[in-house]
Amino acid sequence: MEEAGDVVFRLNAPGQVLFASKRAVALIASPHDLQGDLLATHVAMADQPALKAALAEVLQALAPSLVEVRLKTPEHEVWFELRVSCFLNQDQVPELLVVGRDMSVQHATEERLRHMATHDGLTELPNRLLLSDRIRMVIANARRSGQGFAVATVGLDGFKKVNDGLGHPVGDAVLRMAAARLRKTLRDSDTLARVGGDEFVAVLPGTSTEAQIKLVTGRLIATLQSPFEVDSHTIYVGASVGVSVYPHHAEDEVRLVALADAAMGRAKETGKARCVVYSPKHSGPPEHDISLEAAMFQAVREGEFLLYYQPIVDARTREIQGFETLMRWKHPTLGMVPPARFIPIAETNGLINLLGAWALKAASVQLKQFEEVAKRRLYISVNISPRQFRNDKFLDVLDDALAFSGLSGEQLVLEITEGTLMVDPIHAETILSKMALRKARIAIDDFGTGYSSLAYLKRFPISVLKIDRTFIRDLPGSQKDGAICNAVLDLAKHLDLSVVAEGVETEEQLHYLDDRGCQYIQGYLTGKPMPANVAMTALKESTYANLLPEELRQVHQ
């Protein structure tokens, strides 16, 4: 025990120290310091109840127990994992043996991880996650005390010019300096978070009157007005500030930030370098969008998202070739929320990565089932949003879906828009070539609506063009739309691409497209988006419909 690297204590049943090992003494300073009650003198106050309970339990159950506590040393507190066991001494009196292992390294690592998950790496300020925790806490306090508080969104004016003109390293330096200056004008009890490229949010407990708000935001604006010196550049940025007040403007955290943001937008529009307090005439995002966002997190947990499948058929035979996967949100009270409403929100808050990964995997598995029913090979088309496409993990997500479902790459079509490719063409090229290695095909969704140059069709490995439904809608009447469709079909033929016409609603449209060599059709005419079980029925019918009468008889027998 004397030589053990761990700290060792022997205690009597009431918790008095009878013996302490060398290491324990070295840690806690002097031998006589270690007499008396271990709990009262050497364990951090917050951890005393846990240790007390553990000691009692050990004495009662006569079984060892593990507990983590902070032991007090002269300078600070150190985390130890204490293993407590019970034995009988020579006099048959129960005593306790406590062996402690230093956990400070583990705790430091955990602490670091926690810090990384809740802080912005560049400025070390809290990130959005921690911000929303803090606001919720401040709301709880405000509710109890009846005292309001303000949320201020601070946007740097002209920061994009710094980044574009002088490069990211300079931009980053400015952000770090701006963060430090802003932080300095605030009190310790205020929270300052970085929530976007050049956007900060300050939570100001106790600040709620007009005079108080003016004072604090005036300081925030002033501190960013003096120039920043970076690498011999003298850089001027300013700040526009928007403010919302609890409980006056909103009572929940999401809405408070959204309204402060709307007010900041107003400040930028009306001359910058000023503060605007929210007023209903600045509107901001509609109420339902904000509550929708909050509901989305809940919906993910509750599994309210589903996938519908819309057939993609051969224009001539009308046999189903594959399906496009379309996401649906079945909200318990709002009913079906259309993707046009929730996908953009998921794009901004990042949930799209989670939802998209799920859609890809679930649809791949579903296709296997479809194939069992159809008894032939089909493909599945999945929409990939820009943010998913940019995400580093996307290829892992793709591999996971393929491995899990057992689908082969060529049965998967990933639908992306022209805009997605053009945000960062170099990155897109790398990702697309890696997708090509997995044989997954790329379809350009809403083709013709996004980008005016066609050069990218040559540069990227693309397999499918989906003609947007706005070009189909007025066919065959509209000459202009007809010309566009013809041009796309011609282009596709020469570049060896398949074409899917979207939004085909009438027989006339189908014939028009078929006559001009459009091979695949998707639209209400040949099948609306439908749940998987309905799609299975459609598949059976589609398969039968294309059998010759002779074969059909055999199937029915």
Footprint of Ca ion (CB under 5 A): 383, 415, 445-446, 502
Q: Taking the complex as a whole, how short is the minimal distance between the CB of residue 82 and Ca ion, in angstroms?
A: 58
Long-range contacts formed by 530-536: CB under 8 A, 24+ apart: 530/308, 530/309, 530/310, 531/306, 531/308, 531/309, 532/307, 532/309, 532/366, 532/369, 532/370, 535/309, 535/311, 535/323, 535/370, 536/369, 536/370, 536/373
Task: Give the C-alpha separation, 516 to 499, whole Å.
Answer: 11
Q: Taking the complex as a whole, how short is the minimal distance between the CB of residue 531 and ligand C2E, in angstroms?
A: 13
Task: Give the C-alpha separation, 322 to 544, whole Å.
Answer: 16
Cite the DSSP H helix spans in 192-286.
Answer: 210-225, 253-269
Question: Considering only CA atoms, which of 329, 322, 335 is closest in space to residue 355?
Answer: 329
Q: Which class for 252: exposed (0-12), middle (13-18), buried (19 or more C-beta within 10 A)?
A: middle
- Of the pair 47, 415, the CB lying nearest Ca ion is at 415
Q: Taking the complex as a whole, how short is the minimal distance between the CB of residue 308 and ligand C2E, in angstroms?
A: 7
51-59, 454-462, 513-521, 523-531 -> range binding ligand C2E (CB under 6 A): 523-531
Pairing of strands 441-447, 464-467: parallel
Total binding residues toward ligand C2E, as defined by CB under 6 A: 23
Half-sphere exposure of 25 (CA within 13 A, CB side): 14
Q: Taking the complex as a whole, how short is the minimal distance between the CB of residue 507 and ligand C2E, in angstroms?
A: 13
Binding partner of residue 340 among ligand C2E, Ca ion, none, CB cut-off 5 to 8 Å per kind: ligand C2E
Task: Give the C-alpha separation, 370 to 537, whole Å.
Answer: 10
Exactly one of 126, 205, 242, 529 binds ligand C2E (CB under 6 A); that residue is 529
Q: Taking the complex as a whole, how short is the minimal distance between the CB of residue 327 and ligand C2E, in angstroms?
A: 4
Q: Taking the complex as a whole, how short is the minimal distance between the CB of residue 498 and Ca ion, in angstroms?
A: 14
Q: 247: cis peptide before it, omega within 30°?
A: yes
Residue with tokens 């089909």: 378
Q: Is there binding between residue 523 and ligand C2E (CB under 6 A)?
A: yes
CA of 485: how far to CAs of 450, 475, 491, 525, in Å? Answer: 15, 9, 10, 18
- Of the pair 167, 419, the CB lying nearest ligand C2E is at 419
Residues of the chain by 3-state class (helix, strand, coil), percent to 5: 50, 25, 25
Q: 205: cis peptide before it, omega within 30°?
A: no
Q: What residues numbered 456-515 form the site for ligand C2E, per CB under 6 A?
A: 469, 503-505
57-65, 94-102, 293-301, 521-529 -> range binding ligand C2E (CB under 6 A): 521-529
Is 127 within 8 Å of 208 (Cβ atoms)?
no
Task: Give the C-alpha separation, 426 to 451, whole Å.
Answer: 17
- Of the pair 419, 517, the CB lying nearest ligand C2E is at 419
Exactly one of 310, 411, 420, 509 binds ligand C2E (CB under 6 A); that residue is 310
Pairing of strands 412-417, 441-447: parallel
Q: Is there binding between residue 524 and ligand C2E (CB under 6 A)?
A: yes
Single-letter amino acid, residue 397: V
- Of the pair 120, 446, the CB lying nearest ligand C2E is at 446
Q: Taking the complex as a whole, how short is the minimal distance between the CB of residue 296 and ligand C2E, in angstroms?
A: 14
Q: What residues numbered 165-204 form the site for ligand C2E, per CB under 6 A?
A: none
Q: Taking the complex as a whole, how short is the minimal distance between the CB of residue 528 and ligand C2E, in angstroms?
A: 7
Q: Taking the complex as a whole, how short is the minimal distance between the CB of residue 354 and ligand C2E, in angstroms?
A: 11
- Of the pair 39, 485, the CB lying nearest ligand C2E is at 485
β-bridge partners, 43: 71
Binding partner of residue 326 among Ca ion, ligand C2E, none, CB cut-off 5 to 8 Å per kind: ligand C2E
Q: Taking the complex as a whole, how short is the minimal distance between the CB of residue 287 and ligand C2E, in angstroms?
A: 22
- Of the pair 240, 310, the CB lying nearest ligand C2E is at 310
152-160, 162-170, 315-323, 324-332 -> range binding ligand C2E (CB under 6 A): 324-332
Exactly one of 123, 132, 353, 385 binds ligand C2E (CB under 6 A); that residue is 385
Task: Give the C-alpha separation, 57 to 416, whole Å.
Answer: 60
Question: Considering only CA atoms, which of 188, 214, 186, 225 is closest in space to residue 202?
Answer: 186
Is 481 within 8 Å of 472 (Cβ atoms)?
yes
Q: Taking the complex as a whole, how short is the minimal distance between the CB of residue 446 and Ca ion, in angstroms?
A: 4
- Of the pair 327, 513, the CB lying nearest ligand C2E is at 327
Residues 6+ apart with CB under 8 A from 395: 431, 434, 435
Q: What residues numbered 343-382 form the site for ligand C2E, per CB under 6 A?
A: 343, 356, 359
- Of the pair 176, 473, the CB lying nearest ligand C2E is at 473
Indicate left, alpha or beta for 158 from its phi (over 0: left) and psi (-120 to 50: alpha).
Answer: left
Question: Considering only CA atoms, which of 520, 511, 235 is closest in space to residue 381?
Answer: 520
- Of the pair 253, 324, the CB lying nearest ligand C2E is at 324
Binding partner of residue 55 among ligand C2E, Ca ion, none, CB cut-off 5 to 8 Å per kind: none
Binding partner of residue 132 among ligand C2E, Ca ion, none, CB cut-off 5 to 8 Å per kind: none
Contact track, ligand C2E, 403-442, x by CB under 6 A: ------------x---------------------------
Q: Taking the complex as a whole, how short is the minimal distance between the CB of residue 494 and ligand C2E, in angstroms?
A: 25
Q: Is there binding between residue 326 and ligand C2E (CB under 6 A)?
A: yes
Binding partner of residue 339 among ligand C2E, Ca ion, none, CB cut-off 5 to 8 Å per kind: ligand C2E
Task: Give the C-alpha separation, 528 to 500, whole Å.
Answer: 15
Q: Which residues contact ligand C2E (rule: CB under 6 A)?
A: 310, 325-327, 338-340, 343, 356, 359, 383-385, 415, 445-446, 469, 503-505, 523-524, 529
